[in-house]
């Protein structure tokens, strides 16, 4: 990071640090300072960092974003919330990175379940967040994670006591309405032993132009807990989106994740899963659909730290225009993590000659009694299949659209919650190449 | 079963059988590296000016580089000043006129190894350009090959006899700026093999070289250059064993292959250098740069390797598919036992249209061995209809070993079809049970399963190599099943 950029961030930090939520909480002040120092130290990742080899964040570094205003924005319904709300879900809305209580619809929560905004929790019971907001033992994974920790302004706090269950899914809706804004959101999910929760994290834009959202979601699933996390990234076409989902699983816990990336000019989602207890299991699904000059990156890392865990990964990409997607999937099996079972699949469909797909599935295995595999493909629509459809009177464009839909829908079909699946199918149709009308 | 276990223990403890050391007078340059040493090597080899300048350019570039750190290999720092960069068997000085003039101790060494250097080469049907330490000692079958216009000689000889060819092709696939070890090699390489197959000629025999590392603390820097002109065909074998040694030895070879229009080069390696002892002491550090260039249309290059030796193997035989319709192949069996580390794989760079590549990698890790496949498949923007199939399988034996897979796939053309598959597992209990219930002992069953695991690679090896490879694998593997 050059000195000019660094100076800009130093000035920003000095200006807003007293205005950020929990500014008077001593341990948080300290944590923010520490994180900011770490950010200055690390800077923005470059192509020389193996983890960022295919994704240049220079455009983010070059842009001058305004930091989230500290005061909560009062807002009436912006029109977007109603259409984005998923039927039957409890809703927590964030406008430009700040909680909007008047737009949220949480309803009465069952016993043992706490859901609130992070900022409100920092006002009320900051000590419950101390562990979550402290610097991780291994340090920050990247400059972005450190930046998030230094400037974190809001996000969702979800806590389930042992055995508690949130029957209705929880939708976290992050809407961007203002251009040139940088938001650093943090979601903290703590699911006690045997608890169950289903979360949809959605990022969308209301014609916000260019902005930068930097999100970190930390999930802790206790023994036997079942957590679902679905991420819908529908940021605006000029937006920068950098996200991390960190899940730590206890014994017998299960974690089902899906990540749908449709929007953003430059977007990256890193999903890190630690299978830290025996017999924990996770499934990671993902779908990327890109067009124009979009650059969308998915990095996943599954760490089999204990024996008898299983992981499944299924990622697909559909690339059109001059877009570029990156998939990097790493599976680590630690020494002693015997009887680990890991399977990873990544398939990419190239629809245009200008598109580029980079994929890097990795296995790092330190135990012998394991069953691990991965497969990756890059290809295009099968001309035989198009011919088959055309021979049956389907025109070329519709045949293409149908095949693309079938390819992408394989990921959507894995969603068990029907309203979300229906929403995703709609989104999919809207993004299909010409001739999607034939599918109605 | 108890006696079975005992026998296995014996096999595990079995030392390196090819371990012997020939006491031989050598002409060795003092340790250390500077421009004078580079000039000295060049002068000793009576090289023309262009070679000397090329070496010096490489040396100066090397000074600006740092040792690569990206691989998963761990080793104590190498002191490049503690290595002697030139060592030639004394007998070379007087220039042996025939085999009779060659140092008998040297010949005995080859005999122990079974190198068909004397009359046996006729029976074996193999022409050997034997490299003992750094200078070629004898070349066989040369006259026979010369009739066909094939040049097969030591690199030093090629520099003297065919400087134009050397000048044209040297460094054209692996430039002296390529990477740390290749650059070092470019500066100090002592000898190696040179092969040129003229247009339309099909080389009638398998060409082969046996490499040996002998003198204490002498790094081995070989350089091989093979050119198959239009429509030519050649199959080249490289096999190695090395004497028992305590100190680590650095080996940084460079192999360049050039296939012009319609030409085909097959390059096979069996590498069985000293892997270090049971505790991981000693063993060869093998940092090799191998690359082939399918320069002409319809050309074909295939690499087949069986890597069972060396403490460290760092090696990525690659193919640049420049010519339209060219084909690149990479087949590898890499075995690591005790504390051996292997980081190996390939790069397939698709540049021409309708290019095809196949990668089959079989990694076997036992004991504390670490085995990594690292590969790149790149399809450039204009490489229409490129096709790649990759399969990387790892077999694990013992709970202390490690197997990693790091494939990189970069596709910039929508007509490309790239497939990558990888699996990691240990030998299935059910497979063993199946064999045992049919009366096959556990050891035979393991050997059978492992040979089946590697079959796809072995079947590409020339017969005599396939036999050697299976034997090598057998010894290391039987010992690691408990």
C-alpha B7/C-alpha A143 separation (Å) is 56
pLDDT of residue B270: 83
**Contact at 8 Å (CB) between A209 and A237?**
no
ipTM confidence: 0.84
H or E stretch at A340: strand A340-350
Say what the pLDDT of residue B276 is: 78
- Closest to B400 measured CA to CA, from A339, A275, A336, A370: A336
Digit-coded pLDDT (tens) for A33-52: 999 999 999 999 999 888 99
Query: DSSP assignment, residue A105?
Result: B
Domain ranges of chain A: 3-277, 382-440
From the number of C-beta atoms within 10 Å of its C-beta (0-12, 13-18, 19+), residue A190 rates as buried
The minimal CB distance from B422 to the residues A366, A373, A377 is found for: A373
Chain B residue whose CA is closest to A360: B408
Backbone angles phi, psi at B433, to 5 degrees: -60, -40
Q: How many CB atoms lie within 10 A of CB A27?
A: 14
Residue that the structure tokens 């990071």 belong to: A1
Question: What phi, psi does A291 have (nearest 5°)?
Answer: -150, 175
- Cβ A50–B407 below 8 Å, yes or no? no
Enumerate chain B positions whose Cβ falls within 8 A of a Cβ in A.
Answer: 70, 379, 381, 394, 396-426
| R_g over Cα of chain B | 22
Q: How many CB atoms lie within 10 A of CB A391?
A: 9
Q: H or E stretch including A269?
A: strand A266-275
The pLDDT of residue B15 is 56
The Cα diameter of chain B in Å comes to: 69
Q: Does A379 touch chain B (CB under 8 A)?
A: yes
The pTM assigned to this predicted structure is 0.85
pLDDT at position B120 is: 35
Residues with Cβ within 8 Å of A272's Cβ and at least 6 positions away in sequence, in order, are: A141, A244, A245, A246, A247, A300, A301, A303
Q: In a 3-state reduction of DSSP, which class is residue A119?
A: helix
Instruction: Find how far residue B390's CA is from the centre of its chain.
Output: 21
Task: Report CB contact under 8 Å: B409, A360.
Answer: yes
- pLDDT 10s digits, A393-436: 999 889 999 999 999 999 999 999 999 999 999 999 988 876 55
pLDDT digits (tens, 9 = 90+) for A377-395: 999 999 999 999 999 999 9
pLDDT for position B474: 66
CB B395 within 8 A of CB B364: yes
**CA–CA min distance A119, chain B (Å):** 42
Nearest to A350 among B397, B401, B414 (CB): B414
Each residue's pLDDT tens digit, A208-265 = 789 999 999 999 999 999 999 999 999 999 999 999 999 999 999 999 999 999 999 9
Tokens matching residue A89? 């879900």
> How many angstroms separate the CA atoms of B402 and B422, rounded?
15
Cα–Cα distance, B423 to B437 (Å, whole number): 26
Q: Map residue A396 onto helix, strand or coil.
A: helix
Q: Across the interface, which of A336, A367, A377 has its CB nearest the CB of B418?
A: A377
Q: Minimum mean pLDDT among A81-90, A196-205, B195-204, B356-365: which range? A: A81-90
pLDDT value of residue B107 = 56
Contact B416 A348 (CB under 8 A): no
For residue A283, give Cα distances in angstroms to A227, A315, B81, B351, B455: 11, 11, 52, 37, 34
The predicted structure's pLDDT at residue A178: 86
Q: Rounded to an integer, what distance in angstroms lies between the CA atom of residue A20 and that of residue A25?
A: 11
Query: Which residue among A338, A359, A366 sits closest to B409, beta carbon to beta carbon?
Result: A359
Is residue A77 less than 8 Å (CB to CB) from chain B?
Answer: no
For tokens 């394991």, name the residue: A370
pLDDT digits (tens, 9 = 90+) for A162-195: 999 999 999 999 999 888 899 999 999 999 999 9
Chain A residue numbers with beta carbons less than 8 Å from the beta carbon of B482 are none
Chain-centre distance of CA A22, in angstroms?
25
Report CB contact under 8 Å: A371, B425: yes
- Residues of A within 8 A of B400 (CB-CB) are 335
For B433, how many CA atoms within 13 A lie in the half-sphere containing its CB? 3
| Contacts with B148 (C-beta within 8 Å, 6 or more apart), sequence order | B198, B201, B203, B204
DSSP conformation letters of B17-72? TT-------EEEPPS---HHHHHHHHHHTT--HHHHHHHHHHHHHHHT------SS
pLDDT, residue B448, reads 82
**pLDDT value of position B225:** 94
Chain A contact probe: residue of B361, B382, B420 with most A CBs at under 10 A:
B420
| d(C-alpha B154, C-alpha B145), whole Å | 14
State the number of CA atoms in the 13 A half-sphere of B448 facing the CB: 13
Ranges of chain B whose pLDDT falls below 50: 1-2, 5-6, 12, 90-96, 109, 112-113, 115-128, 131-138, 211-218, 242-246, 482
Which one of A304, A366, A384 makes the best mutation probe of the B interface by having the most chain B beta carbons within 10 Å? A366
Report pLDDT for B237.
Answer: 85
Q: What angle do CA B304, B309, B310 make, to 5 degrees?
A: 115
Contact at CB, B426 and A369, closer than 8 angstroms = yes
Residue ranges in B220-303 assigned as alpha helix (H): none
Report the residue from B404, B412, B414 with minimal CB separation from A363. B404
Tokens 């030639």 -> residue: B88
The whole-number pLDDT of residue B221 equals: 86
CA A175 to CA A81: how far, in whole Å? 8
B401 contacts A358? CB cut-off 8 A = no
Confidence (pLDDT) at B119: 34
A292's torsion region: left (phi>0), alpha (psi -120 to 50) or beta? left
Q: Which residues of A touch B410 (CB under 8 A)?
A: 54, 356-358
């Amino acid at each position: 990071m050059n000195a000019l950029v660094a100076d800009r961030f130093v000035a920003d930090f000095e200006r807003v640090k007293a205005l950020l939520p929990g500014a008077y909480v001593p341990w948080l002040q300290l944590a923010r300072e520490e994180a900011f120092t770490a950010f200055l130290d690390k800077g923005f990742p470059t192509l020389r960092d193996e983890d960022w080899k295919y994704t240049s964040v220079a455009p983010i570094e070059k842009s001058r974003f305004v930091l989230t205003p500290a005061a909560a924005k009062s807002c009436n319904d912006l029109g977007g919330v109603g259409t984005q709300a998923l039927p039957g879900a409890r809703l927590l809305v964030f406008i430009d990175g700040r909680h909007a209580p008047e737009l949220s619809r949480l309803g009465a929560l069952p016993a043992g379940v706490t859901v609130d905004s992070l900022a409100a929790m920092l006002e009320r019971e900051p000590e419950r967040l101390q562990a979550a907001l402290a610097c991780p033992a291994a340090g920050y994974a990247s400059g972005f994670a450190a930046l998030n920790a230094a400037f974190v302004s809001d996000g969702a706090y979800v806590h389930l006591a042992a055995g508690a269950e949130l029957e209705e899914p929880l939708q976290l809706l992050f809407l961007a309405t203002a251009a040139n804004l940088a938001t650093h959101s943090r979601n903290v999910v703590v699911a006690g032993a045997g608890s169950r929760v289903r979360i949809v994290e959605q990022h969308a834009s209301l014609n916000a132009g260019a902005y930068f959202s930097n999100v970190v979601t930390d999930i802790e699933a206790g023994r036997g807990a079942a957590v679902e996390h679905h991420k819908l990234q529908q940021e605006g076409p000029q937006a920068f989106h950098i996200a991390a989902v960190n899940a730590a699983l206890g014994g017998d816990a299960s974690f089902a994740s899906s990540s749908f990336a449709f929007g953003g000019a430059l977007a990256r989602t890193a999903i890190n899963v630690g299978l830290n207890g025996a017999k924990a299991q996770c499934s990671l699904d993902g779908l990327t659909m890109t067009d124009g000059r979009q650059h969308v990156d998915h990095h996943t890392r599954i760490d089999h730290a204990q024996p008898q865990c299983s992981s499944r990964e299924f990622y697909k990409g559909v690339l059109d225009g001059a877009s570029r997607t990156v998939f990097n999937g790493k599976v680590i099996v630690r020494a002693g993590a015997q009887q680990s079972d890991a399977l990873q699949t990544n398939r990419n469909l190239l629809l245009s000659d200008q598109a580029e797909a980079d994929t890097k599935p990795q296995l790092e295995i330190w135990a012998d009694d394991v069953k691990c595999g991965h497969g990756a493909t890059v290809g295009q629509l099968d001309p035989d299949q198009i011919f088959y459809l055309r021979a049956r009177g389907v025109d070329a464009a519709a045949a293409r659209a149908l095949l693309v839909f079938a390819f992408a829908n394989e990921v959507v079909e894995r969603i068990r919650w029907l309203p979300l699946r229906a929403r995703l199918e709609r989104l999919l149709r809207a993004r299909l190449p010409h001739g999607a009308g034939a599918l109605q | 079963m108890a006696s079975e276990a005992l026998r296995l223990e014996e096999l595990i403890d079995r030392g390196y059988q090819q371990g012997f050391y020939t006491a031989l007078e050598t002409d060795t340059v003092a340790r250390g590296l500077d421009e004078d040493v580079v000039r000295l090597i060049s002068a000793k080899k009576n090289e023309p000016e262009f070679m000397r300048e090329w070496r010096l350019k490489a040396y100066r570039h090397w000074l600006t580089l740092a040792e690569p750190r990206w691989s998963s290999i761990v080793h104590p720092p190498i002191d490049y000043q503690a290595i002697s960069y030139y060592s030639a068997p004394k007998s070379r000085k007087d220039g042996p006129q025939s085999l009779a003039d060659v140092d008998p101790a040297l010949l005995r060494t080859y005999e122990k190894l079974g190198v068909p250097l004397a009359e046996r080469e006729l029976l074996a049907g193999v022409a050997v350009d034997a490299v003992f330490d750094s200078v070629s000692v004898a070349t066989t079958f040369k006259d026979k090959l010369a009739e066909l216009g094939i040049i097969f000689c030591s690199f030093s000889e090629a520099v003297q006899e065919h400087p134009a060819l050397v000048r044209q092709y040297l460094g054209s696939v692996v430039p002296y700026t390529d990477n740390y070890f290749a650059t070092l090699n470019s500066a100090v390489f002592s000898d190696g093999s040179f092969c040129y197959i003229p247009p339309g000629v099909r080389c009638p025999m398998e060409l082969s070289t046996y490499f040996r590392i002998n003198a204490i603390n002498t790094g081995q820097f070989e350089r091989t250059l093979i050119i198959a002109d239009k429509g030519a065909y050649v199959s080249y074998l490289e096999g190695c064993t090395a004497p028992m040694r305590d100190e680590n030895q650095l080996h940084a070879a460079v192999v360049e292959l050039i296939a012009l229009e319609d030409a085909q080069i097959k390059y096979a390696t069996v590498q069985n250098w000293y892997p270090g002892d049971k505790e991981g002491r000693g063993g060869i550090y093998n940092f090799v740069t191998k690359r082939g260039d399918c320069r002409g249309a319809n050309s074909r290059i295939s690499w087949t390797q069986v890597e069972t030796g060396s403490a460290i193997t760092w090696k990525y035989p690659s193919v640049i598919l420049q010519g339209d319709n060219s084909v690149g192949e990479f087949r590898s069996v890499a075995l690591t036992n005790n504390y051996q580390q292997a980081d190996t794989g390939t790069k397939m760079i698709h540049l021409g249209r309708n290019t095809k590549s196949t990668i089959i990698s079989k990694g076997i890790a036992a004991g504390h061995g670490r085995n990594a496949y690292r590969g790149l498949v790149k399809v450039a923007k204009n490489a229409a209809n490129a096709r790649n199939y990759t399969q990387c399988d790892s077999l694990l034996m013992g709970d202390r070993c490690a197997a990693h897979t790091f494939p990189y796939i970069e596709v910039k053309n929508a007509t490309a079809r790239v497939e990558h598959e990888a699996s990691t597992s240990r030998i299935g209990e059910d497979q063993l049970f199946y064999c045992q219930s049919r009366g096959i002992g556990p050891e035979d069953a393991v050997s059978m399963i492992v040979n089946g695991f590697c079959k796809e690679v072995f079947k590409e090896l020339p017969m005599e190599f396939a036999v050697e490879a299976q034997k090598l694998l057998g010894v290391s593997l039987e010992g690691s099943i408990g």
